[in-house]
Amino acid sequence: MQLSVVKNPKTGQLHKCVLCVAAVALIIDPRSSEAAAATDGSNSYIFKHFCTVVNALDAEPKHKETTPDLDGVLKAATTIKLLFNNRQEVEATADTDGETQQAATTGAAQAANPCNGNGKQSCQEAKKFQSGLSAADKEVLVKFIQSKSNIAKEANSSATELVQAATRIQDDEAQANYKDVKAKLQTALFGQTKMVTGLLSASDTSRTQACGAGTGTAAKGAKEKMAVALLCLCGSDAGGCTSCKTCGATPTGTITFGDADRSADTAYATLAAQCKADANKHERRPLSAQLQEAAAALRQDLLKLKSTGHKAGFIGGVNSNQANGACDGKSDSGSGACVFSGDKDGQPQLPVWLELIDKAAAEATKAEEFVASTKRRYSQLIALNKTLTTLLVTGTTAFNQVATLQQTATGTQTPTAAEKNEKDCNAEDKEPECKANPKCKWDGEAKPPKKKCTLSEEGKQKIRKEAVNAGAENQTGRKCFDYTTKRTVK
């Protein structure tokens, strides 16, 4: 405390002037006047954490990377799986739902028919796919399936795995969203799962009723609804906090605290827009981490001892040395623009909405785990799809070559070549000319109508070999049908 001496100009007596400098300072500083509003920016430190919750209502998991056609892959794999394991049931399926067709099985077997009930559409698609193949392609595919070869078994197994992988992705994607997160945050903000008009309730008859007072009155609306708490921290009113800028450079419109007054809704919309404008465009952390940080910061603020009563349970800036604890938006006779949720035995009584933020963070963690799982499963899906395609192309191509060999051995594949060579041999009537052709043989004892120069067995084998080799050469550069994507590929 500083003393100074001043002479009375009339009496000449000396008087002590106590705190002259401080008194002048009080007159000059408008923030310390009786009706001064809470200090500009005093709640910016906590406003950002409220904004985390507000902005989370528009958040979506970050998993929009390019992915395969999941529905297309699932349908194609299901078709292959059905053709391998239930081809008879597929072929017996009615082409449309309106048709009636006798089932291939009856009784218990019919009940287990995968083409009944929900599986009917898949069987119709499999039947349509098989019917759309050319006769030659259908024959090769069916014989490959029926061959029970190791490649066929591997293809069947891969198709089954592919169906399972695609189904798991669908299940994961159904949960890889923030639907449950947003429901909890909306309840935290508005007291129910959607924004409605009339944020203030019948008990919010004044700012201190809505926001609380450290003298013993805990907040009403601000303890139940986070949106009302945001109004207490940042909103302007017609009394102690006109044109308040406690949370940002732009004040809200004047709030009339009272039941169902629409001015509160308008003020909240202003603050929500400010939250969106202030959002960190470079935020890379998952939403769960952001919500956890916000909840932790709010708890920390509630634990701090504030006001002249040194009480816990406050959120927001409080003039601890001069205030009596009323959250009326003032900076001298009141605590400032704050929320008092109550205290007991030195511990804060937590707002109802704080626990909902914790639950929302937990739901966000679950959703993000499903997002990560979906990414992994897509990698598996791509690998399985390639495997199945390779097995089908390899198996059908190999089986087609085997069929060609079998047909050639019976003389059905290349009758023209055999006949031509036979005629060439028969045309020779002298032994030297006959033997000059390696495919011919000479029989000097042969009597008409038999020919002395004929096509030898070695010649026939050579012709067959040439036909097979020609068929293999024709496979080079041939386009194959990818049964999983139902497209023709090289």
DSSP letters for 422-469: HHHHHT--SHHHHHHSTTEEE-TT--TTS-SEEE-HHHHHHHHHHHHH
Q: Between residues 216 and 337, which one has the greater pLDDT?
A: 337
Q: How far is CA 114 from CA 86, 110, 165, 245, in A?
A: 8, 9, 19, 67
Tens digit of pLDDT for each residue in 23-71? Answer: 323 222 333 334 466 788 889 999 999 999 999 998 887 755 545 677 8
Peptide bond into 449 cis (omega under 30): yes
pLDDT at 238: 82
pLDDT at 354 over 90: yes
What is the three-class DSSP state of 314?
strand
**211 closest CA partner among 325, 310, 45:** 325
Residue 476 pLDDT > 80: no
Q: Residue 18's pLDDT is what?
A: 33
Give the tokens for residue 104: 């291939």
Please name which of 347, 262, 335 lies closest in space to residue 299, comparing C-alpha atoms.
Answer: 347
How confident is the prediction for the chain on average, in pLDDT? 78
Residue 13: pLDDT band with limits 50, 70, 90: very low
Estimate the crossing angle of helix 262-278 against helix 44-56, to 10 degrees: 90
Band the pLDDT of 214: cuts 50, 70, 90. Answer: confident
Evaluate whether 249 touches 45 at the Cβ level (below 8 Å): no
- Two structure tokens written together for 54: 């507000």
How do residues 253-299 score in pLDDT, each as one tens digit?
889 887 667 889 999 999 999 999 999 888 889 999 999 999 999 99
User: What are the beta bridge partners of residue 453?
Assistant: 442
Token pair of 102 as six digits? 């006798």
How far is 453 from 423, CA to CA, in rounded Å? 9
Q: What is the rounded CA–CA span in Å between residue 50 and residue 44?
A: 10
The domain spans of the chain are 1-32, 33-62+181-350, 421-490
